[in-house]
């Protein structure tokens, strides 16, 4: 998916010692052919699960839940001739255009049908399984652990349902996940460059270490993060957190290769380029996503200077088109700020962030009673956004283990997981009065999954410690890991009917509702 397999075993360690690492014959990931075969098989399985029965559920043949906002807007983007939403009947268009462009692609291929408006989501959701496999494989240096992460991703109810509805969240997660994968690839590439300088004996030529040249992977990460912001504004959280993660990578890399002044070297050699790549490029990409808006004479709020905005003032030097866009976006921000509980805005399925890690308050997307008959009784069709409990209920143990591994053992792999998880979770605590829903937590899912896969790797000794285990300890690790993976798969199969809107009896529906808060 990114990077080469040849450098997976090179210049890697959990501590700071430079030098090549010999690929492990059991867990090593320098098996290019096998890695891609496993990737192909797991991606194919993901595609089957994501595309199977994609045309249900519907609301009498129309979109369900928030599909009702984005699906018609995407259709208007496709058929309006300008690739923008400029129909006043929509009221306030509250999200940037990229996600709606992707929905429109599917509608262009298959028409205004459930398959059409969900096609792009299913494609992206399938590719995300591949990215998680490749990214976790790179983090763990293990094809086996990458495969475990991919299986978990296939079986996660949140990403599964998000891949089967015409909403925006899956697209933002896709771009953010791709951005993280590019940052990790950049980290490995920079270690390879530093390793080459170190082996040539030139690491001490400057107290700040060598210049590392243009970093295409980091630039690619910035573009992907910009697309995430151009899908939903919450993508900006990941820009800030990933910028800190990237700087942390640079400091650790220079320290690992004994640069005399690694902090100052990072400041002088890396921070400014990183700030431009991860700070400026996403803004440019975001503005670029509004190119059709700038180009159209009929765009909503396109010419507000001289109407709602005066010609003078401290920002009169800013081009009128940018000022008009700011007016447009400020109106959206004001709209969101008004959606608070204190203002009387309540929803029966809203939830607060502290319930998200364990998925204590899922989302009901669609419900329909009958006319199916289940064993002679009435049936119910339900689609819920719900995290597979076998994984989501272990979120806090995973986070605690990951923090211990990162802070005490300096395991950089868990730093990646913890930072990405924090970016998708912590910012929502800044305004708890706002209406919030569990689908905001969908961005947490891939990082929870990667963390759990790394924990399985620790259980198996995939970080190289398996050689230190006795025979009984190795067998115990294999048995526990196998039982847990089987439990995750079984849990997903059990939830399948309420993830896909299949007809089930009321008795079965009650059996599916494990917690009172799920109702």
Please report which confidence band the pLDDT of residue 12 belongs to, taking 50, 70 and 90 as the band edges.
very low
Nearest to 415 by CA among 180, 228, 116, 160: 180
Please give the pLDDT value at position 7: 39
* Secondary structure of 157-179 in HEC code, one letter for each residue: HHHHHHCCCCCCHHHHHHHHHHH
pLDDT one-digit tens code per residue, 186-200: 999 999 999 999 999
Task: Work out the number of other CB atoms within 10 angstroms of the CB of residue 335.
Answer: 12
Please give the pLDDT value at position 13: 41
pLDDT one-digit tens code per residue, 490-502: 999 999 999 999 9
Please give the pLDDT value at position 47: 98
Of the CA atoms within 13 Å of residue 231, those in its CB half-sphere come to 24
- Which pTM value belongs to this model? 0.93
pLDDT one-digit tens code per residue, 119-171: 999 999 999 999 999 999 999 999 999 999 999 999 999 999 999 999 999 99
Distances (CA, A) of 320 to 246, 300, 313: 35, 14, 12
Please give the pLDDT value at position 11: 34
Please give the pLDDT value at position 314: 86
Please report which confidence band the pLDDT of residue 262 belongs to, taking 50, 70 and 90 as the band edges.
very high
The lowest-confidence range among 81-85, 100-104, 240-244 is: 81-85
Q: Is the pLDDT of residue 361 over 80?
A: yes
Q: Is the pLDDT of residue 1 over 50?
A: no
């Amino acid at each position: 998916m990114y990077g080469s397999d040849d450098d997976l075993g090179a210049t890697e360690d959990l501590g700071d010692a430079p030098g090549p690492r010999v690929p492990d014959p059991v867990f090593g990931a320098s098996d290019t052919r096998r890695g891609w075969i496993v990737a192909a098989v797991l991606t194919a399985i993901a595609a089957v699960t994501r595309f199977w029965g994609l045309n249900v559920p519907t609301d009498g043949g129309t979109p369900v839940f928030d599909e009702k906002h984005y699906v018609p807007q995407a259709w208007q983007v496709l058929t309006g001739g300008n690739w923008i939403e400029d129909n006043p009947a929509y009221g306030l268009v509250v999200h940037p255009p990229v996600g709606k462009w992707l929905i429109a692609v599917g509608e262009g291929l298959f028409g205004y049908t459930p398959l059409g408006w969900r096609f792009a989501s299913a494609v992206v959701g399938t590719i995300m399984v591949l990215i998680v496999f490749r990214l976790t494989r790179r983090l763990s240096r293990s094809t086996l652990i990458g495969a475990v992460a991919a299986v978990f991703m296939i079986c996660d109810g949140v990403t599964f349902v998000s891949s089967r509805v015409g909403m925006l969240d899956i697209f933002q997660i896709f771009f953010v996940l791709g951005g993280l994968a590019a940052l990790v690839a950049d980290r490995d590439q920079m270690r390879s460059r530093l390793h080459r300088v170190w082996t040539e004996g030139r690491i001490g030529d400057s107290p700040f270490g060598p210049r590392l040249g243009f970093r295409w992977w980091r630039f690619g990460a910035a573009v992907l993060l910009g697309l995430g912001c151009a899908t939903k504004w919450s993508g900006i959280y990941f820009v800030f957190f990933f910028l800190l993660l990237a700087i942390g990578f640079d400091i650790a890399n220079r320290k690992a290769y004994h640069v005399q002044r690694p902090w100052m070297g990072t400041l002088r050699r890396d921070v400014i380029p990183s700030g431009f790549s991860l700070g400026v490029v996403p803004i440019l990409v975001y503005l670029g996503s509004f190119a059709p808006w700038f180009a159209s004479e009929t765009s909503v709020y396109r010419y507000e200077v001289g109407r709602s905005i005066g010609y003078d003032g401290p920002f009169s030097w800013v081009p009128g088109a940018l000022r008009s866009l700011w007016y447009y976006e400020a109106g959206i921000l004001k709209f969101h700020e008004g959606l608070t509980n204190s203002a009387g805005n309540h929803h029966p399925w809203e939830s607060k962030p502290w319930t998200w890690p364990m998925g204590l308050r899922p989302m009901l997307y669609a419900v329909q009673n009958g006319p199916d008959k289940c064993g002679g009784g009435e049936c119910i069709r339900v689609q819920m956004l719900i995290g597979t409990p076998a994984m989501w209920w272990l979120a806090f143990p995973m986070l605690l283990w990951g923090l211990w591994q990162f802070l005490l053992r300096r395991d950089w792999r868990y730093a990646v997981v913890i930072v990405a998880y924090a970016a998708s979770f912590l910012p929502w605590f800044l305004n708890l009065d706002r209406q919030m829903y569990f689908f905001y937590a969908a961005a947490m899912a891939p990082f929870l999954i990667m963390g759990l896969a790394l924990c399985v790797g620790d259980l198996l000794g995939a970080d190289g410690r398996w050689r230190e285990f006795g025979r009984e300890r190795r067998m115990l690790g294999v048995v526990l890991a196998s039982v847990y993976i089987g439990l995750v798969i079984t849990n997903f199969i059990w939830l399948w009917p309420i993830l896909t809107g299949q007809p089930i009896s009321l008795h079965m529906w009650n059996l599916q509702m494990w917690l009172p808060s799920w109702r």
